[in-house]
Amino acid sequence: KLINAEYIDIFFEASFNVSKIESDGKVYGFELEMVTNRPYALQEPILIYLKNIVPNGQKRFYSKSDEEGYIYPNMEITIAEDGDFELYNSLEDRTMRIANCKVGEVIRVNYPVIESSLKDHKIQNDFNWKFFRIATTFREKANDVTISIPCTIKMIYSPVVKVGI
Protein backbone atom coordinates (compact mmCIF):
# COMPACT_ATOMS: atom_id res chain seq x y z
CA LYS A 1 0.00 0.00 0.00
CA LEU A 2 1.14 3.50 -0.70
CA ILE A 3 1.14 5.83 2.29
CA ASN A 4 -0.48 8.82 0.62
CA ALA A 5 -3.93 10.42 1.09
CA GLU A 6 -4.62 10.30 -2.67
CA TYR A 7 -4.03 6.55 -2.85
CA ILE A 8 -5.53 5.46 0.46
CA ASP A 9 -7.66 2.64 -0.98
CA ILE A 10 -5.26 1.16 -3.53
CA PHE A 11 -2.50 -1.42 -3.33
CA PHE A 12 0.01 -3.30 -5.47
CA GLU A 13 0.84 -6.98 -5.32
CA ALA A 14 4.60 -6.65 -5.28
CA SER A 15 7.90 -7.87 -3.97
CA PHE A 16 11.00 -5.83 -3.21
CA ASN A 17 14.70 -6.31 -3.71
CA VAL A 18 16.63 -4.31 -1.11
CA SER A 19 20.18 -3.02 -1.45
CA LYS A 20 22.15 -1.10 1.19
CA ILE A 21 23.58 2.32 0.44
CA GLU A 22 26.92 2.44 2.29
CA SER A 23 29.78 4.83 2.75
CA ASP A 24 32.86 4.11 4.85
CA GLY A 25 31.24 0.91 6.13
CA LYS A 26 28.15 2.73 7.44
CA VAL A 27 24.65 2.21 6.09
CA TYR A 28 23.02 5.51 5.06
CA GLY A 29 19.96 4.21 3.33
CA PHE A 30 18.38 1.54 1.21
CA GLU A 31 17.59 1.25 -2.45
CA LEU A 32 14.30 -0.56 -3.11
CA GLU A 33 13.40 -2.19 -6.42
CA MET A 34 9.69 -3.02 -6.64
CA VAL A 35 8.50 -5.83 -8.95
CA THR A 36 4.74 -6.19 -9.44
CA ASN A 37 2.59 -8.92 -10.99
CA ARG A 38 0.65 -6.43 -13.14
CA PRO A 39 1.25 -2.96 -14.57
CA TYR A 40 -1.50 -1.29 -12.50
CA ALA A 41 -2.66 -1.08 -8.91
CA LEU A 42 -5.78 -2.65 -7.40
CA GLN A 43 -8.49 -1.02 -5.34
CA GLU A 44 -9.42 -2.41 -1.94
CA PRO A 45 -12.02 -5.20 -2.38
CA ILE A 46 -15.57 -4.18 -3.27
CA LEU A 47 -18.63 -6.16 -2.16
CA ILE A 48 -21.59 -6.57 -4.51
CA TYR A 49 -24.55 -8.02 -2.65
CA LEU A 50 -27.49 -9.27 -4.72
CA LYS A 51 -30.16 -10.44 -2.28
CA ASN A 52 -33.62 -11.93 -2.50
CA ILE A 53 -33.42 -12.49 -6.24
CA VAL A 54 -36.61 -13.86 -7.82
CA PRO A 55 -36.66 -16.38 -10.72
CA ASN A 56 -35.38 -14.73 -13.91
CA GLY A 57 -34.68 -11.65 -11.82
CA GLN A 58 -32.47 -9.00 -13.33
CA LYS A 59 -29.95 -6.85 -11.51
CA ARG A 60 -27.53 -4.18 -12.67
CA PHE A 61 -24.22 -3.20 -11.15
CA TYR A 62 -21.26 -1.27 -12.52
CA SER A 63 -17.67 -2.40 -12.81
CA LYS A 64 -15.29 -0.04 -11.01
CA SER A 65 -12.27 -1.23 -13.02
CA ASP A 66 -10.27 1.20 -15.16
CA GLU A 67 -9.02 -1.66 -17.35
CA GLU A 68 -10.96 -3.14 -20.25
CA GLY A 69 -11.56 -6.87 -19.92
CA TYR A 70 -12.91 -8.93 -17.07
CA ILE A 71 -12.32 -9.91 -13.45
CA TYR A 72 -13.33 -13.17 -11.80
CA PRO A 73 -14.93 -12.23 -8.47
CA ASN A 74 -14.95 -14.46 -5.40
CA MET A 75 -18.57 -15.49 -4.96
CA GLU A 76 -20.85 -17.03 -2.36
CA ILE A 77 -24.22 -18.13 -3.75
CA THR A 78 -26.96 -19.22 -1.33
CA ILE A 79 -29.67 -21.18 -3.15
CA ALA A 80 -33.28 -20.53 -2.05
CA GLU A 81 -35.10 -23.03 -4.34
CA ASP A 82 -34.23 -26.41 -5.86
CA GLY A 83 -33.26 -26.21 -9.51
CA ASP A 84 -30.64 -25.36 -12.08
CA PHE A 85 -28.79 -22.14 -11.25
CA GLU A 86 -27.86 -19.85 -14.16
CA LEU A 87 -26.13 -16.50 -13.90
CA TYR A 88 -26.15 -14.65 -17.24
CA ASN A 89 -24.16 -11.47 -17.95
CA SER A 90 -25.54 -9.67 -21.01
CA LEU A 91 -22.40 -7.53 -21.41
CA GLU A 92 -20.45 -10.67 -22.33
CA ASP A 93 -23.36 -12.86 -23.48
CA ARG A 94 -22.00 -15.46 -21.05
CA THR A 95 -23.82 -17.87 -18.72
CA MET A 96 -22.49 -19.69 -15.67
CA ARG A 97 -24.65 -22.79 -15.12
CA ILE A 98 -24.82 -25.24 -12.20
CA ALA A 99 -27.41 -28.04 -12.35
CA ASN A 100 -29.13 -29.86 -9.47
CA CYS A 101 -28.87 -27.14 -6.81
CA LYS A 102 -30.76 -27.60 -3.52
CA VAL A 103 -32.46 -25.19 -1.09
CA GLY A 104 -29.95 -23.95 1.49
CA GLU A 105 -26.93 -25.02 -0.55
CA VAL A 106 -24.05 -22.57 -0.43
CA ILE A 107 -21.81 -22.52 -3.50
CA ARG A 108 -18.42 -20.86 -3.21
CA VAL A 109 -16.58 -19.77 -6.32
CA ASN A 110 -12.95 -18.66 -6.15
CA TYR A 111 -11.63 -18.99 -9.70
CA PRO A 112 -10.56 -21.63 -10.68
CA VAL A 113 -12.16 -23.47 -7.73
CA ILE A 114 -15.87 -24.14 -7.18
CA GLU A 115 -17.30 -25.99 -4.18
CA SER A 116 -20.66 -26.84 -2.64
CA SER A 117 -21.68 -27.00 1.01
CA LEU A 118 -23.49 -30.28 0.19
CA LYS A 119 -21.08 -33.21 0.17
CA ASP A 120 -23.38 -35.28 -2.07
CA HIS A 121 -23.56 -32.59 -4.80
CA LYS A 122 -20.95 -33.54 -7.39
CA ILE A 123 -20.72 -29.93 -8.49
CA GLN A 124 -17.80 -30.57 -10.84
CA ASN A 125 -20.14 -32.72 -12.97
CA ASP A 126 -23.01 -30.20 -12.86
CA PHE A 127 -20.97 -27.08 -13.66
CA ASN A 128 -20.51 -25.82 -17.25
CA TRP A 129 -17.03 -24.48 -16.33
CA LYS A 130 -17.84 -20.94 -17.49
CA PHE A 131 -16.98 -18.92 -14.42
CA PHE A 132 -18.88 -15.65 -13.94
CA ARG A 133 -16.90 -12.52 -14.78
CA ILE A 134 -17.38 -8.82 -14.11
CA ALA A 135 -16.76 -7.12 -17.45
CA THR A 136 -15.60 -3.67 -18.55
CA THR A 137 -15.49 -2.45 -22.14
CA PHE A 138 -14.25 0.82 -23.62
CA ARG A 139 -17.79 2.21 -23.64
CA GLU A 140 -19.64 0.17 -21.03
CA LYS A 141 -19.27 -0.64 -17.34
CA ALA A 142 -22.87 -1.73 -16.64
CA ASN A 143 -23.17 -5.46 -15.99
CA ASP A 144 -26.80 -6.54 -16.40
CA VAL A 145 -27.24 -9.99 -14.94
CA THR A 146 -30.17 -12.41 -14.99
CA ILE A 147 -30.48 -15.15 -12.39
CA SER A 148 -32.63 -18.24 -13.04
CA ILE A 149 -33.69 -19.30 -9.52
CA PRO A 150 -34.18 -17.52 -6.18
CA CYS A 151 -30.88 -16.97 -4.39
CA THR A 152 -28.60 -14.49 -2.71
CA ILE A 153 -25.19 -13.72 -4.20
CA LYS A 154 -22.18 -12.05 -2.56
CA MET A 155 -19.36 -11.06 -4.92
CA ILE A 156 -16.04 -9.59 -3.88
CA TYR A 157 -13.45 -8.28 -6.31
CA SER A 158 -10.59 -5.77 -6.51
CA PRO A 159 -10.92 -3.44 -9.51
CA VAL A 160 -7.87 -2.43 -11.53
CA VAL A 161 -6.86 1.21 -10.91
CA LYS A 162 -4.68 3.01 -13.43
CA VAL A 163 -2.52 5.39 -11.42
CA GLY A 164 0.95 6.78 -11.77
CA ILE A 165 3.37 6.91 -8.87
Give 35-79 pLDDT, tens digit per residue. 988 888 999 999 999 987 788 889 999 999 999 999 999 999 999
| pLDDT score recorded for residue 164 | 64
150 Cβ contact partners less than 8 Å away, ≥ 6 residues apart: 52, 53, 54, 55, 57, 79, 80, 81
pLDDT bracket for residue 108 (50, 70, 90): very high
Q: What is the pTM of this model?
A: 0.86
| pLDDT score recorded for residue 101 | 98
